[in-house]
């Protein structure tokens, strides 16, 4: 892959996301100020913006309008931010460090963190309904439905529930995979499909390939997360390292060993690339992004 | 008002809501079962269904299709259920009793209650995008936007944040009013507007009257809540009585005294009725509902 080109592109997307999110989030001076502060604190100034990059890269396949893509990508990043705030709460993972900063409930307080997450979820749906994201408004309603399902009890929130229930238990590999397909995978797949739907002219078969790409990349993302959690330090990760193992959570590394987990990530990467074959040059960015997700070091 | 007629109607709406919600919520047997159980536990089998009644009554003004109304009303009741679950959490009001039953985090656990609330919010938006609620899909997108704003940081969640911040402080009457217009009022207004938008042919001026009706009724609802909290017992209320006063929360009764608060509720009721004048018979149900909200004993 053309490293300098990809690095420049990913910086551009991250920069564009930061500006867009800063504009879409309510200013801190507006009451209730503490709530708006907490929402901005947890959404701005950090993160790899992988989900936004996936939406933008998928948008290249469908030739989507960048103005639409940035709203769709912002909605996904806002949902991601809300999920991290709630995931870090004492009754969930009870984590104090996120992206190298104190977590929301540590910086503010538990109640504010709870409400900031709640309000961020509402904001994401507000944006998806407020801005024009598709030529046909019926199509846009379908996108909102798809996204809401990805967030809900049979998507991200369901995955978190299964994850919590798994603490101290031994999951089988298929059970672990199912959990991650919901917990992280649902939003990653939705990011890819969002980007694709912001444009036009993709056939159902092509959308199916992109969805499978999203599924493989989502799983690879989680496998690599587990590998980094096993190998990394809190300094490079920006979050508490070794936390999952310590908390008795089943991980890919605990279930299949470090070496096999690394190999599995490579297999998923190959599967992801295979789904992109029919798109030729238009999917180059999605291919680079899959490489980035598997080869990242934090 | 024609009491037997209104009672029969309100029972019919409540019955229809119960069936609709039972069908729209994912069955408990579907994994993650505990999460789906918690969602059903907190949404079904209780509550006055005031918000659903407001949507149905406003739908009579715009001659809306009952099939549409029941989905819109279900979405509002689902959001209401989510807000109660999160409001009862230890980091918020820390309440153990709701609708005469243990609160969600007491019956299940904190993490499950948090996720059940989160997933209910997603579900509400899923339903609003999935079912046809307006002839013009553009209109439906506007309804979703309006609703998301009512739920967010400048609506319900914002009101909860101001409420928390007010514990132990002395608010002025306008500050207290502003807090309630967001905390309870936003969703009540949205219920009325939702019902109205499910039908057709209302002018902007008519919608404006209905919105003001919603605002007066929403405030009256809260004033009466404070009066009942001051006068009532936990047995009739089905929740912990005297909780707000004890928790140092400013209330209408603490700010203006019990007698003046009762009088204020009557004034708001008259204001609500005044907004309905131009609609004649079509708004009869909204008028009865306002009476019910102010004269209820629990």
Average the pLDDT over A28-38 and give the result: 96
Average the pLDDT over B203-227 and give the result: 96
pLDDT at A235 over 60: no
- Mean of per-residue pLDDT scores for chain B: 93
Query: Which of the four pLDDT bands, split at 50, 70 and 90, describes residue A1?
Result: low
Average the pLDDT over A248-253 and give the result: 85
Which pLDDT score, from 0 to 100, does residue B239 have? 60
Q: CB-side exposure of A119: number of CA atoms within 13 Å?
A: 30
C-alpha radius of gyration, chain A, whole number: 18
DSSP letter for each residue of B88-152: HSTTTT---EETTEE-HHHHS-HHHHHHHHHHHHHHHHHHHHHS--SSSHHHHHHHHHHHHHHHS
pLDDT at A118 over 90: yes
Q: Each residue of A38-83: pLDDT tens digit?
A: 999 999 987 889 999 999 999 999 999 999 999 999 999 999 999 9
Task: Tell me if B232 sits within 8 A of B99, measured CB to CB.
Answer: no
% of chain A residues with pLDDT over 90: 83
Query: Which helix (H) or strand (E) element contains residue A97?
Result: strand A97-98
Q: 């209730």: which residue's tokens? A: A32
pLDDT at B166 over 90: no
Minimum mean pLDDT among A171-180, A212-221, A227-236: which range?
A227-236
Average the pLDDT over A80-109 and give the result: 96
Phi first, then psi, for residue A101 (nearest 5°) are -125, 160
Q: Each residue of B47-93: pLDDT tens digit?
A: 889 999 999 999 999 999 999 999 999 999 999 999 999 999 999 99
- Mean of per-residue pLDDT scores for chain A: 93
Q: 């996108």: which residue's tokens? A: A143
Cβ distance of B153 and A92 shorter than 8 Å: no
Q: Each residue of B170-199: pLDDT tens digit?
A: 889 999 999 999 999 999 999 999 999 999
* Residue in chain B nearest A135 by alpha carbon: B138
Q: Whole-model pTM above 0.90?
A: yes
Which pLDDT score, from 0 to 100, does residue A153 have? 98
Average the pLDDT over B155-179 and give the result: 91
Chain A nearest-CA distance from B190, in A, is: 14
pLDDT at A85 over 70: yes
Mutation choice for A interface testing from B126, B164, B165 by most A CBs within 10 A: B126
Average the pLDDT over A250-270 and give the result: 94
Cβ within 8 Å of residue B102, ≥6 positions away: B96
Query: Which helix (H) or strand (E) element contains residue A98?
Result: strand A97-98
* A121 contacts chain B (CB < 8 A): yes
Of A117, A148, A160, the CB nearest to B126: A148
Which pLDDT score, from 0 to 100, does residue A203 have? 95
Higher pLDDT, A231 or A41: A41
Query: Which of the four pLDDT bands, split at 50, 70 and 90, describes residue A171?
Result: confident
Q: 């938006």: which residue's tokens? A: B125
Q: B102 forms bridges with which residues in the sheet? A: B97
* A91 contacts chain B (CB < 8 A): yes
Cβ contacts from A onto B, under 8 A? 160
Helices (H) and strands (E) in chain A, counts: 16, 2
* A114 contacts chain B (CB < 8 A): yes
Alpha helices in chain B (DSSP H): 3-24, 33-43, 50-61, 66-88, 104-107, 110-130, 137-151, 156-165, 173-180, 186-197, 204-231, 234-237, 243-246, 252-256, 258-275, 284-295
- Report the alpha-carbon distance of residue B236 to residue B97 in Å, rounded: 12
Query: Which domains are seen in chain B, by residue range?
Result: 3-295 (1.10.600.10)
% of chain A residues with pLDDT over 70: 94
Average the pLDDT over B214-236 and give the result: 86
pLDDT at A154 over 70: yes
Query: Which of the four pLDDT bands, split at 50, 70 and 90, describes residue B235?
Result: low
SS3 state of residue A197? helix
CA-based angle A231:A235:A241, to the nearest 5? 45
Cβ distance of A161 and B112 shorter than 8 Å: yes
Cβ distance of A119 and B158 shorter than 8 Å: yes
Query: In chain A, which residues have their Cβ closer than 8 Å to the Cβ of B39?
Result: 153
Give CA B259 to chain center in angstroms: 25
* Residue in chain A nearest B91 by alpha carbon: A111
pLDDT at A227 over 60: yes
Query: Which of the four pLDDT bands, split at 50, 70 and 90, describes residue A225?
Result: very high
Cβ within 8 Å of residue B218, ≥6 positions away: B180, B181, B184, B185, B186, B188, B189
Closest CA to A128 of A120, A146, A140, A116: A140
Cβ within 8 Å of residue B184, ≥6 positions away: B156, B159, B218, B221, B222, B225
Which pLDDT score, from 0 to 100, does residue B1 have? 53
Q: Provide the angle, in degrees to the nearest 10, between the axes of the packed helices A50-61 and A284-295.
A: 160
Q: B97 forms bridges with which residues in the sheet? A: B102
Chain B nearest-CA distance from A137, in A, is: 6
Cβ distance of A161 and B92 shorter than 8 Å: no
Cα separations in angstroms, A168 against A225, A277, A280 = 19, 41, 45
* Residue in chain A nearest B90 by alpha carbon: A111
Average the pLDDT over A247-272 and give the result: 92
Give A119's DSSP letter: H
Q: 């379908």: which residue's tokens? A: A142
- Report the alpha-carbon distance of residue B170 to residue A208 in Å, rounded: 58
* B151 contacts chain A (CB < 8 A): yes
Minimum mean pLDDT among A155-164, A212-221, B4-13, B225-234: which range?
B225-234
- Show the tokens assigned to A33: 């100020």
Query: Which of the four pLDDT bands, split at 50, 70 and 90, describes residue B107?
Result: very high
* A162 contacts chain B (CB < 8 A): yes
pLDDT at B243 over 70: no
Closest CA to A54 of A253, A178, A194: A194
Which pLDDT score, from 0 to 100, does residue A196 have? 96
pLDDT at A128 over 70: yes
- Show the tokens assigned to A267: 């297999």
């Amino acid at each position: 892959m053309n490293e300098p080109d990809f690095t420049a592109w990913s910086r551009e997307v991250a920069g564009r996301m930061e500006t867009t999110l800063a504009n879409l989030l309510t200013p801190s001076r507006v009451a209730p100020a503490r709530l708006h502060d907490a929402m901005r604190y947890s959404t701005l100034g950090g993160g790899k913006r992988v989900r936004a990059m996936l939406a933008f890269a998928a948008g290249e396949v469908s030739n989507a309008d960048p103005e639409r893509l940035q709203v769709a990508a912002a909605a996904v990043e806002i949902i991601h931010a809300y999920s991290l705030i709630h995931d870090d709460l004492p009754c969930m993972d009870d984590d104090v460090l996120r992206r190298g900063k104190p977590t929301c409930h540590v910086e503010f307080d538990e109640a504010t963190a709870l409400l900031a997450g709640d309000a961020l979820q509402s904001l994401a749906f507000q944006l998806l309904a407020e801005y024009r994201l598709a030529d046909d408004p019926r199509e846009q309603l379908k996108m909102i439905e798809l996204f809401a399902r990805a967030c809900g009890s049979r998507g991200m929130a369901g995955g978190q529930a299964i994850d919590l229930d798994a603490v101290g238990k031994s999951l089988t590999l298929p059970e672990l995979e199912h959990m991650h397909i919901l917990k992280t995978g649902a939003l990653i797949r939705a990011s890819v499909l969002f980007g694709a739907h912001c444009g036009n002219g993709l056939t159902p078969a092509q959308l199916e390939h992109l969805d499978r790409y999203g599924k493989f990349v989502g799983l690879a993302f989680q496998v690599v997360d587990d590998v980094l959690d096993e190998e990394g330090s809190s300094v490079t990760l920006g979050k508490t390292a070794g936390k999952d193992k310590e908390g008795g959570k089943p991980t890919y590394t605990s279930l299949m060993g470090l070496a096999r987990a690394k190999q599995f990530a490579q297999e998923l990467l190959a599967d992801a690339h295979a789904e992109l074959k029919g798109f030729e040059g238009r999917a180059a960015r999605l291919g680079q992004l899959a490489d980035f997700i598997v080869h990242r070091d934090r």
